[in-house]
Structure 1
Amino acid sequence: MPIMIEFTTDLVRVLFAFCFYYPLFMAYLWMSGGLYYYLHYERKDPPPDKPPPLLHYPAVSILVPCHNEGENICETVAALQALDYPEYEILLIDDGSTDDTGAHIERLAQGDDRIRVVRLARNQGKAVGLNTAATLARHDYFLCIDGDSLVDMHCLKWMMRHLLGSPRVGAVTGNPRIRTRSTLIGKIQVGEFSSIIGLIKRAQRTYGKVFTVSGVMVCFRRSALHDVGYWNPDALTEDIDVSWRLEVRHWDVRFEPNALCWILMPETLRGLWRQRLRWAMGGSQVLMTQFGVLLRWRQRRLWPIYIEYFTSVAWAYSMALIVLLFGVGLLVDLPEALQIRSLAPGWGGLVIGSTCLLQFGVSMFLDSRYERGYGRYYYWMIWYPLAYWILNVCTSVVALPSVLLRGRRRARWKSPDRGIRPHVP
């Protein structure tokens, strides 16, 4: 019995140590990788509005999947029509919309011969819409954006430099910027996309592999997509799924911070929960479907990001277990080894919180070249460790069993929360 008590005590100590040191270690790993990327690549780039000239400018097909985008599609297309690129076509994909999206895109097509309309009679999901448009596209490079996004006029030149620079580059993901900033949730997401998405993609690019492209704006090589069978209709997050299938086939996936895209994000708790749960379920789905990469030596460059994501899910369950033990301890008398006295952060929380703010400071410094006045959002980041870590723990814990119970079935559109008052870029 004393041996069992000692073992349990040691186990709880390990659990606490893991929950404390894991985010601390990863924060410094991301910061060092992001700073290296900046010094080695980004710092040498010209300003975002002056992309370097390309040796040639191959035509591009722009695929825009839409489902109930009547309020946004005209603005999205206007930004595409202003692209600084010699030749491109725009395929607007109406995936069974029930609002006036169809009428808008038909009118847009009549006014511009670069625009073609792809109509699906009923909602088939984003992947099916993209696959359908890909078969109709005339060109060998695809720019895929969401129907509520606003692309920067120079984004295509920045992304095409990677695809033209190396025949092994299969996809290039852009740098999404948040437009919805009218609430605390929106303001926090401005820093989150810089620190948790932009900084991590820089670091992953430095260390070898990018976990996922950003589905709101990504440029593909047609031959790479053909090699992996295009988009998977059963994938909950088609962007994560296609990224992994490309990299398993040894295609390179890159991040281009100069390729800017302005996006709408949820500003309600319900909308945020639905979005992050879908993201977490998509990540969990990849954990299960791509487990085989750990057994293949040729896929060793994917091991670090697979293990990192697996560890992040384990961290979420560990945090949930600590909270559960604390809650149970309030109701019944637990053995001494299992008692959690308090959830108050203490000095450890201060260290993690300070590191988190340092990470936000580094990432906002890196992104300040793309947006003036960016630093004013730093103040709001103090809420991120409390609010968003709780959200991420909850969605990760719910996601894994949800994916296991879901089985294999097609992923379809659900109209998301798109914020309250968009910021004008």
Structure 2
Amino acid sequence: MTAFVDGLAVFTLAYPSLMAMVWMCGGLYYYFQWERRDLALAKRGLTLPSHPRVTLMVPCYNEGANVEETIGHLLRQRYPNFEVLAINDGSRDDTGARLDRLALGDARLRVLHQPNQGKAMALNHALGEADGEILVGIDGDAVLDHDAVMWMVKHFLESPRVGAVTGNPRVRTRSTIIGKIQTGEFSSIIGLIKRAQRIYGTVFTVSGVVVAFRKSAVEAVGGWSTDMVTEDIDISWKLQLGGWLIHYQPQALCWVLMPETVRGLYKQRLRWAQGGAEVMLRYGAQVLRWRNRRFWLLLLEYAASVTWCYGMLFLALNWLLHPNLTTLAEGHFFAWSGVLMTGICLLQFGISIFIDSHYDRTMLRSFIWCAWYPLIYWLLNLVTVIVAVPKAVLRRRGQLAVWESPDRGESFRE
């Protein structure tokens, strides 16, 4: 038993550092292989050989305070051939009335109304009404960069195998320490993960707040699943299992509102963790087939993450029962593990800030908050995964997944 506990302790200490190294190497490779060319192209000015019709889909639920800003930025896209399709999903506030009023002032905006049935149902509703060959999904509280559509369409023109392109969300809410830390997290964790996963061929999830789809690809996989709590993770796996590729485009910037309270952050990350577990339960057996072997690294990464969370729980319970674990502190590995993990964490943030400072000049300011990241976010990931996996197992299949208004940060409260 002692050998097992010691081995588990080594794994729990080594895993975060190992994954950080994978993300850093993948992120740097992506940057030097592809990203630098797009940065140079952005300075010259991006032009496309053609401009297929694009439908910007905006599912909205209780977005009265934000929807006018969101729609206003969409209507100022520099892409020449688009329409905006806003879906009011049974909002209880004045979202529907605001959208109808906006539609009267611009023929490019159409508004759909439906009872509250969730984001996936709203997207499926828009899928049936969209005129575009390319569908761009934007949350009702997000602000899309004026050139984002152009950069995402570029991928569909370059390869007929591309089924989706996930964009680059940037945090707007930075008035509390939680908001400031998320600024670094979206760069040093989410951004690097997207780049690394793009290198080994499969992406765990698109960013639901800013993503483009080939309409024919979405139709081929049956649209969005209405019974999954995270429709973005689900559609990512459905597309890739269907043989489509997902690309990442950091030039497709989108400014998003994120929780700035512990409660709001916990609820958001719990939903993300449950969504990941639901996808694994639904598609895990299919992924194990030989023809889906490109998913195996992704599956291994997820399995290791869950093992780490429950391993930490086991060690904590074991410590409560047998608090004298002095043997774990013996040897140079354990003596220097804390220093090593801190150094790797800071290196990871340094690399991500170097890369993402091309898109956000204020990134360097977030470096001071990096020291809080391991304490807050690894602990949060630990708790949410432990809670989410049983919730995913027990959740009844076919149950409609509806949404509720999120915590959007202290600086955006009415």
TM-score by length of 2: 0.95
Structure 2: where are the runs of 5+ without partners?
none
What does residue 286 of structure 2 align with? 293
Structure 1: where are the runs of 5+ without partners?
1-7, 331-335
What does residue 91 of structure 1 align with? 85
Does 1:421 pair with 2:414? no
Relative to structure 1, the CA distance from residue 294 to residue 88 in structure 2 (aligned partners, 3 Å threshold; closer, same or farther) is: closer
Relative to structure 1, the CA distance from residue 187 to residue 234 in structure 2 (aligned partners, 3 Å threshold; closer, same or farther) is: same
What does residue 378 of structure 2 align with? 389
CA deviation map 1:85-142 (0-9, x unaligned): 111111110001000101110100000000111001x210000000001101112110
1:416 and 1:176 mapped to 2: Cα distance? 17
What does residue 400 of structure 1 align with? 389
1:299 and 1:168 mapped to 2: Cα distance? 16
The alpha carbon displacement at 1:295 in A equals 3.0
What does residue 60 of structure 2 align with? 66
The alpha carbon displacement at 1:39 in A equals 0.4
RMSD: 1.7
What does residue 263 of structure 1 align with? 256
Q: 1:313 pairs with 306, 328, 337, which one?
A: 306
1:219 and 1:302 mapped to 2: Cα distance? 22
Q: Is the 8 A contact 1:293 1:303 kept in 2?
A: no
Q: 2:218 pairs with 225, 228, 245, which one?
A: 225
1:11 and 1:187 mapped to 2: Cα distance? 39
Give the SS at the match of 1:416: coil
What does residue 412 of structure 1 align with? 402
2:286 and 2:34 mapped to 1: Cα distance? 29
What does residue 73 of structure 2 align with? 79
Relative to structure 1, the CA distance from residue 420 to residue 49 in structure 2 (aligned partners, 3 Å threshold; closer, same or farther) is: farther
Q: Is the 8 A contact 2:287 2:296 kept in 1?
A: yes
Does 1:110 pair with 2:128? no
Q: How many residues were matched structurally?
A: 407
Give the SS at the match of 1:369: coil
What does residue 317 of structure 2 align with? 324
1:48 and 1:421 mapped to 2: Cα distance? 32
2:111 and 2:203 mapped to 1: Cα distance? 32
Percent identity for Structure 1 against Structure 2: 52
Q: 1:206 pairs with 195, 199, 202, which one?
A: 199
CA deviation map 1:265-313 (0-9, x unaligned): 0000110010000000000011111112343111010110111111101
Relative to structure 1, the CA distance from residue 30 to residue 314 in structure 2 (aligned partners, 3 Å threshold; closer, same or farther) is: same
1:229 and 1:301 mapped to 2: Cα distance? 22
The alpha carbon displacement at 1:346 in A equals 5.6
Q: Is the 8 A contact 2:288 2:296 kept in 1?
A: no
The alpha carbon displacement at 1:327 in A equals 2.7
Give the SS at the match of 1:209: coil
Give the SS at the match of 2:386: helix
Relative to structure 1, the CA distance from residue 339 to residue 71 in structure 2 (aligned partners, 3 Å threshold; closer, same or farther) is: farther
The alpha carbon displacement at 1:73 in A equals 0.2
Aligned partner of 1:374: which letter? M
Give the SS at the match of 1:119: strand
Does 1:359 pair with 2:348? yes
Give the SS at the match of 1:41: helix
Q: Is the 8 A contact 1:59 1:87 kept in 2?
A: yes
CA deviation map 1:66-86 (0-9, x unaligned): 000000000001110110011
Q: Is the 8 A contact 2:9 2:328 kept in 1?
A: no
Does 1:368 pair with 2:362? no
Does 1:56 pair with 2:59? no
Relative to structure 1, the CA distance from residue 346 to residue 76 in structure 2 (aligned partners, 3 Å threshold; closer, same or farther) is: farther
Aligned partner of 1:63: which letter? M
Does 1:161 pair with 2:154? yes
Give the SS at the match of 1:421: helix
